[in-house]
Amino acid sequence: ATGKADNRNEQFENIEALKISYQDAANARFSELRQSSGRNFATLCQKNIG
């Protein structure tokens, strides 16, 4: 019985770890996109002004 319970806990911890790493990856990608869109916007403004 204990083996099954341990297994479940392990699976749960794995899922939590996956969720965290997925969120980290999504956050990294999002800030990357935000930075690049900011740069693109700045370039557009410079082109329009210049």
pTM beyond 0.75: the answer is no
- Give the pLDDT confidence score for residue 5 in this predicted structure: 79
Helix, strand or coil for residue 50? coil
DSSP designation for 18: H
Q: What are phi and psi of 23, to 5 degrees?
A: -65, -40
pLDDT in tens, 21-43: 999 999 999 999 989 998 888 88
- Give the pLDDT confidence score for residue 7 in this predicted structure: 87
The band of 46, judged by pLDDT with boundaries at 50, 70 and 90, is: confident
Residue with tokens 């099954």: 4
pLDDT in tens, 1-16: 567 878 888 989 999 9
